[in-house]
C-alpha cells in the first residue's frame, strides 16, 4: 500500500493513514454488525502496546509473489555485462542473495524496497541520481545507519540479546577493514561466459547460498577451560571464579539460533573474540593483564586498567543480554569478601582444560 499511498495526501493518492484506517475499520465494523469475530474498532485497540501484544500473530503468512526471483546475484557490472554482452574489466565478486529467506525475516517488502518495488539500481545508480538524493548504490548497500541496506540491517540484528553481549562492545570497523568475501563470494570462473539467462543466474546464486553453513560449531569442549579464577587483584575481595565453559556454551547456543551468525562466525574460535579481543584468534589467547595494567588510570590510548576492563566487560555483557543475576552492584555474588590476611597474587588459575 505504501508504494502508492505516501505519508501525505497527494494529487495521485490519499495518505496511507487515511486508507489504512478506512480499509481496516470499515471491515471491522461490517463484521461486528454481523455479530462475527472482528478486529478492534477503537484507537487503543491497534495503537496501545498492551492490546497489540494480545493480538494473535499469524505464524504461516502466505508469500506474496510479485515476480521477484527466489535467488539472484547482486552486481552492477554483471547487469551491464548481460545487457551489452561484454564482460567487465573491473570485476567485483557478486553477492548471492535470497529473496525467499529475507522475506521470511522481514515484515514486508517495504523494509528494503522503501520507495518502490523497482530494483535498487533504478534510483541508486553507480554515481547516484536525483531520485536517490545522490546516494550511490555502494553507499546504499553498505550504510550502517539504514535498515534498507544490507549492512545496516545486519548491524541491527546484532542488537538481539543473544548477540549484543559481545557485539555492543566491539567497535565498528570502517568498510575497507572488513572482509568483503563474507558477502561478495561468487568466483569469476562461475561467470564465464557471462550468464545471460536469468534462470542460470538464479541457479548460481542458489548453489552458493546452499553451500553456506546453516549451523556454526564451537571448539571441542575439552579445549575450553571449565573455570577460570581471576585473583590477580584480590584485596578486599577474594578472586572471582568464572564459569568459562558454561558461559561460552551459552553464547554458542544463542548464536546457533541465527543463520546470519552461523555464516559470519567464520571459524570455531570466532566467538572467543567477543572477550579475547584485539588479538589473533587462538585457543591460547593472551591474558587480559598482557594489555591492561593494575593502574586505575586508563592508558594514554584509552585502554582501561585491569579492574575497569574486567568489570566493564562483564557488567556490560550482563546488561545487554538482560541477565538480572548477579546484579552489577552485588560485588559478593562474584567474589566473596576477604576475611583472612592479604594474599595478593599475580596469576590466573585455569581449570578443566585438557593438557
The reply to whether 216 falls in a domain is no
90 with 181, same domain: the answer is yes
Residue 63 located in a structural domain: no
Same-domain status, 83 and 19: no
Angle CA(287)–CA(264)–CA(184) in degrees, nearest 5?
A: 130
Distance of alpha carbon 185 from alpha carbon 303, whole angstroms: 36
Total domains in the fold of the chain: 3
Q: Which residues contact 63 (CB under 8 A, 6 or more apart)?
A: 100, 103
Do 338 and 238 meet the contact criterion of CB atoms below 8 Å apart? Answer: yes
CATH number for the domain that contains residue 273:
3.90.10.10
Q: Do both 294 and 257 map to the same domain? A: yes
113/46 same-domain check: no
CA distance 349 to 355: 14
pLDDT in tens, 227-264: 999 888 888 888 889 899 999 999 888 888 888 888 88
CB neighbour list of residue 50: distance below 8 Å, 6 or more residues apart: none
Q: What is the pLDDT of residue 348?
A: 56
Grid cell 496511507 is found at 16
Which domain-ending residue is among 157, 177, 211? 211
Q: For the CA atoms of 74, 76, 77, 82, what is the dihedral angle to 10 degrees?
A: 80
Report pTM.
0.77
Residue 337: helix, strand or coil by DSSP? strand
Contact 267, 213 (CB under 8 A): no
Q: Would you say residue 66 lies in a domain?
A: no
Domain presence at residue 81: yes
Domain assignment of residue 131, yes or no:
yes
Cell reading at 4: 502508492
pLDDT value at residue 56: 81
State CA 62 to chain mean position distance: 25
3-class state of residue 217 by DSSP: coil
99-101-104-108 Cα dihedral, nearest 10 degrees: -20
CA distances from 235 to 48, 250, 343, 350 (A): 52, 30, 8, 20
Residue 230, classed as helix, strand or coil, is strand
From CA 171, how far away is CA 158, in angstroms rounded? 13
Which helix (H) or strand (E) is 256 found in, with range?
A: helix 244-256
- 184 three-state secondary structure: strand
Is the same domain home to 41 and 129? no
CA dist 47 and 306 (Å) reads 48
The domain boundary, picked from 211, 237, 254, lies at: 211
pLDDT digits (tens, 9 = 90+) for 102-153: 988 888 888 899 888 888 999 999 999 999 999 999 999 999 889 999 999 9
Q: Which residues fall within 8 angstroms of residue 28, CB to CB, at 6 or more apart?
A: 38, 39, 40, 41
Point out the residues of the chain with pLDDT beneath 50: 343-346, 354-355
Rounded to 5 degrees, what angle do the CA atoms 82, 84, 87 make? 70
Angstrom distance (rounded) from CA 76 to CA 323: 45
pLDDT at 350: 60
For residue 18 the three cell numbers come to 487515511
Domain with 3 in it: 1-58
What is the reported pLDDT for 34? 94
| Final residue belonging to a domain, choices 211, 245, 279 | 211
Amino acid at each position: 500500500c505504501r508504494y502508492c499511498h505516501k505519508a501525505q495526501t497527494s494529487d495521485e493518492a490519499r495518505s496511507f493513514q487515511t486508507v489504512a484506517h478506512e480499509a481496516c475499520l470499515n471491515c471491522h465494523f461490517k463484521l461486528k454488525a454481523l455479530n462475527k469475530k472482528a478486529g478492534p474498532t477503537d484507537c487503543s485497540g491497534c495503537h496501545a502496546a498492551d492490546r497489540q501484544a494480545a493480538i494473535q500473530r499469524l505464524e504461516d503468512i502466505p508469500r506474496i509473489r510479485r515476480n521477484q526471483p527466489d535467488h539472484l546475484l547482486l552486481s552492477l557490472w554483471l547487469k551491464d555485462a548481460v545487457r551489452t554482452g561484454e564482460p567487465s574489466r573491473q570485476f567485483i565478486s557478486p553477492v548471492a542473495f535470497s529473496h525467499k529467506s529475507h522475506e521470511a525475516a522481514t515484515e514486508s517488502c517495504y523494509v528494503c524496497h522503501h520507495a518502490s518495488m523497482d530494483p535498487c539500481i533504478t534510483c541508486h545508480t553507480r554515481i547516484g541520481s536525483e531520485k536517490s538524493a545522490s546516494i550511490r548504490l555502494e553507499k546504499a548497500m553498505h550504510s550502517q545507519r539504514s535498515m534498507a541496506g544490507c549492512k545496516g540491517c545486519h548491524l541491527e540484528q546484532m542488537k538481539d540479546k543473544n548477540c549484543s553481549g559481545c557485539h555492543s562492545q566491539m567497535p565498528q570497523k570502517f568498510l575497507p577493514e572488513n572482509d568483503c568475501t563474507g558477502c561478495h563470494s561468487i568466483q569469476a570462473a562461475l561467470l564465464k561466459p557471462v550468464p545471460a539467462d536469468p534462470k542460470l543466474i538464479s541457479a548460481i546464486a542458489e548453489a552458493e547460498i546452499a553451500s553456506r553453513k546453516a549451523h556454526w560449531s564451537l571448539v571441542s569442549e575439552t579445549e575450553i577451560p571449565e573455570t577460570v579464577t581471576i585473583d590477580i587483584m584480590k584485596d578486599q575481595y577474594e578472586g572471582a571464579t568464572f564459569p568459562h565453559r558454561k558461559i561460552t556454551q551459552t553464547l554458542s547456543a544463542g548464536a546457533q539460533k541465527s543463520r546470519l551468525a552461523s555464516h559470519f562466525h567464520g571459524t570455531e574460535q570466532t566467538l572467543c573474540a567477543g572477550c579475547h579481543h584485539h588479538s589473533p584468534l587462538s585457543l591460547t589467547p593472551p591474558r587480559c593483564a598482557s594489555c591492561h595494567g593494575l593502574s586505575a588510570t586508563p592508558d594514554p590510548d584509552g585502554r582501561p586498567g585491569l579492574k575497569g576492563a574486567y568489570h566493564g566487560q562483564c557488567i556490560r555483557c550482563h546488561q545487554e543480554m538482560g541477565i538480572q543475576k548477579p546484579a552489577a552492584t552485588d560485588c559478593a555474588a562474584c567474589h566473596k569478601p576477604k576475611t583472612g590476611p592479604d594474599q595478593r597474587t599475580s596469576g590466573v588459575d585455569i581449570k578443566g582444560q585438557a593438557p
